[in-house]
Amino acid sequence: MTREPILTARGLVKRYGRVVALDRTDFDLYPGEVLAVIGDNGAGKSTLIKAISGAVTPDAGEIRLEGRPVHFTSPMRARDAGIETVYQNLALSPALSIADNLFMGRELRAPGLMGKIFRKLDRKEMERIARDKLSELGLMTIQNINQAVETLSGGQRQGVAVARAAAFGSKVVIMDEPTAALGVKESRRVLELIRDVKARGLPIVLISHNMPHVFEVADRIHIHRLGRRIAVIRPSDYSMSDAVAIMTGAMEPPDAPAAERADGAGP
Amino acid sequence: MSERDARDAEGYGEGLATRSGDVATFDGQGHSLLDAIQHKLHARPEFVPLIVLVVSVAIFGVVLGSKFFSPFALTLILQQVAIVGIVGCAQSLVILTAGIDLSVGAIMVLSSVVMGQFTFRYGLPPEIAVLCGLACGALCGMINGMLVALMRLPPFIVTLGMWQIVLATNFLFSANETIRSQDIEAQAPILQFFGEKFNIGGAIFTYGVIALFVLVLVLNYALNHTAWGRHVMAIGDDPDAAELAGVRVARMRISVYTLAGLICALAGWVMIGRLGSVSPTTGQFTNIESITAVVIGGISLFGGRGSVLGMLFGALIVGVFSLGLRLIGTDPQWTYLLIGVLIIVAVAIDQWIRKVAA
Ligand SMILES: Nc1ncnc2c1ncn2[C@@H]1O[C@H](COP(=O)(O)OP(=O)(O)OP(=O)(O)O)[C@@H](O)[C@H]1O
Ligand SMILES: [Mg+2]
C-alpha cells in the first residue's frame, strides 16, 4: 500500500533563546490514521504541533499539506487550510459563551442589511449550529448553549474545545493532551470522539502521556525525544513499556521507522 | 504514571459500557438564592450599578423632594456627566481588553485645543478644524495601541507616558492660551454645537447628552452583537487563548486604542460646548473620573467582563451623589468619601462574581 502522507514536516527547527525546542525534526501524517505523539515533558511535542498549526513559526524546515509547501503565519491560516487544533491550554475564552467560543474568529453574520452594514452576528444560527455540532458528536446534552465557559467543569471545557476542533476540521484534527484534565468517563468519551472523527475519514494527531489511551486508539506512534522524532512504531509491534523505554532513552530506537516500512512510503 | 494507568484500567470496562454521552449535563448550578443572584450578575454585570443608581435617586428624591426630583435637576446631572460618560466609553473599551488608558483626559484636551487653534490661529474652516481634532485624538490613541500591541509594553506605562507627552504638547502648542467663548460664538459656533440646549417639559438636554446616549447604545451594540465586540471581550479574557482561537490580537488592540482616542476627541468637542471656551488647563481629572465610572459601573479591571451600560450607570451614580449631597449642603468631601467606598465595594463585588467559575 503506497499512500502519500497528507501532512509532512522536514527538518523543523525552533529555538527559544538557548533552548532548542525542535531540533531538525520530521513528521508524517497519513490520511485517515490516528497518529499518537509521545515524549517526555519538554520533549517539544507542543512546539511541534504549534509549528504545524501556525501558532509558532519554525526557524527552519518545511511543512507540506497534501504535497504543497505551506507557511502558516497564524493559527487562522492553518484553520482556513482545514487544520484544527485543540491546544494544551484549550484556547477558550472563559467569560464568553459556549457558542461564542465555538465560533471565535469565524463568526456568522446575519443575512441582509443588518449583517452587511451593521455587521450584526447571526446569534440564532450560531447557537443552532453549536447545539447541532455538540449533539452530533454525542458529546453532551446541552441545556444552555449561552452558558459562560468558566461555569463549566474542567472536563466540560475540554469537551467544548475538542468539539470545536472536531466540528470544523476538514483535513486534519490535532489534539494536544485532550484527556489530561479528564476523569475516566470523560476520557472515554474523548477517545470515542476520536474514533468518530476518524470514522469521518479525518486523520488525527493525538498527543498524550497516557499509554493505555495511546495504545488503544493509535494506528502509529511518533516518539519524540529531545526535540526530534527518534522513532515511529506500530502499537501492535511493541509493548507499552518498550515505547516508554524508547521515549526515555532506556532502549535503542529501532533503526528504520517501522510504520514507514509498513506503508512503503518513505520520506 | 502507574497510578494513572491503574485508575484508567479500572475505568476501562465501565467506560465502554456507558457509551451514552453523560459527560456533561449543563444544568444551572444555582441552588440557593445567593447562587442565583451570583449567576444573574455574572450574566448581567450592569445590574448592580443600575440598582445602586435607582436606590440613590430614590433616597435623594425622598430627602430633598422636588428640589432634586425634578426634570431640571435630573437633566442637570446628565449634562454634568456627559463628558465623563463619553470619556468613560473610551476607557471601557480599553479596560475590557484588560488594559487601562491614563491619557484619555490629555487626549481630550489636546483635541479640543487643536479644534480651537486650527480655526483661530490657522484660519481653517471650523468644520475642517473639528475633523483635524478628531484625527489628532485617533492618532494619539493609535500610538498608544501600537506601543501596547506591537512593542508589547504594559498599557499602564505606555499611557502614563502618553499622558505626560500629550499634556505637554497641549501646553506647548496652545501656548497656554484660552480661546474666549464670545469669539467662538461669533466665528465658529459649530465648535459649541454640543452645548446647545433644548427643553422638553422642563427637562433640559444638550446635544452632548444626546451624543453620550447614542455612543453608549452604539458601543453596547458593537460589543454584544458584532464579531469585533466578541473579540474585544476575548482579548480581555485571555489574549493567548484568543490568538490561538483565531483572533488577530495585535490588530484588535490597535483598533481599540485608536477608537478610544477618537472618542476622547469627541469628548473634547463636547467639552468646548459645555465650557463655551477652549481651555488647555481643563480636564485634569478626567482620566481618574473615567476610571471611577468604569469601576463603579461593574467593568472588571482584569478585562473581559462588564458592559458600557454599566459604565453609564456608574457615571450617573457619581453625578447623582455630587448633586444630591451639594443640594443637601454637606461638605463636598463627603461625596469623595462615598465615591471611594463605592469603588471598593464595586471591586469586591466583581471579585465575588468572578468566583462563579465552577
Ligand atoms: N514560549 C516559549 N518560550 C520559551 N521556551 C519555550 C516556550 N515554549 C516552549 N519552550 C521550551 O521548549 C521546550 C519544549 O516545550 P514543549 O511545550 O513543546 O514540550 P512538550 O513536549 O509539549 O511538554 P509537555 O509534555 O510538558 O507538554 C521546553 O524546554 C520548553 O521550556
Ligand atoms: Mg505540551
The 3-state DSSP class for residue A166 equals helix
A137 vs A226, which has greater pLDDT? A226
Q: What is the mean pLDDT of residues B184-192?
A: 95
pLDDT value for A256: 53
pLDDT band at B3 (very low <50, low <70, confident <90, very high): very low
Instruction: Give ipTM to 2 decimals.
Output: 0.84
pLDDT band at B37 (very low <50, low <70, confident <90, very high): confident
pLDDT value for A140: 59
Q: What is the DSSP letter of A97?
A: B
Q: Which of B10, B247, B357 is closest, CB to CB, to A151?
A: B357
CB-based contact A190:B11 (threshold 8 Å): no
Question: What separation in Å is there between the alpha carbon of B12 and the centre of ligand 1?
Answer: 31
CB-based contact A85:A77 (threshold 8 Å): no
Q: How far apart are the first and last CA of chain A?
A: 15
pLDDT value for B31: 63
Nearest bound ligand to the CA of residue A48: 1
Q: Which of B1, B225, B236 is closest, CB to CB, to A120?
A: B225
The residues, any chain, with a CB within 8 Å of residue B20's CB and separated by 6 or more, are A138
Cell reading at A213? 489511551
Cell reading at A40? 517526555
Q: What is the mean pLDDT of residues B77-100?
A: 97
Q: Is A227 in the pocket of ligand 1 (CB under 6 A)?
A: no
Ligand 1 atom having least distance to the Cα of A40:
25
* Rounded Cα gap, residues A46 and B215, in angstroms: 44
**What are the tens digits of pLDDT across the range B134-144?**
999 999 999 99
The residues, any chain, with a CB within 8 Å of residue B36's CB and separated by 6 or more, are B30
Q: Which residue of B has its CA nearest to A78?
A: B246
Q: Which residue of A has its CA nearest to B22?
A: A140
pLDDT value for A137: 64
Cell reading at B198? 433644548
- To the nearest whole Å, the CA of A95 is away from the closest chain B CA by 7
Q: Which of B24, B42, B230 is closest, CB to CB, to A100?
A: B230
- Most confidently modeled range among A112-121, A176-185, B234-243: B234-243
Q: What is the mean pLDDT of residues B145-162?
A: 97
| CB pair distance less than 8 Å for B26 and A189 | no
Q: Which of B14, B16, B23 to mutate to test the interface with A (most CBs of A within 10 A)?
A: B23
pLDDT value for B276: 95
Q: What is the mean pLDDT of residues B76-93?
A: 97
Cβ-count burial B231-270 (b if 16+ within 10 Å, e if not): bbbbbbbbbebbbbbbbbbbebbbbbbbbbbbbbbbbbbb
Q: Taking CB atoms and an 8 Å cutoff, what residues of chain B touch A184?
A: 7-8, 10-11, 14-15
| Residue at B221: amino acid letter | Y
The residues, any chain, with a CB within 8 Å of residue A74's CB and separated by 6 or more, are A54, A55, B243, B246, B248
* B295 pLDDT higher than 90: yes
Q: How far apart are the first and last CA of chain B?
A: 27
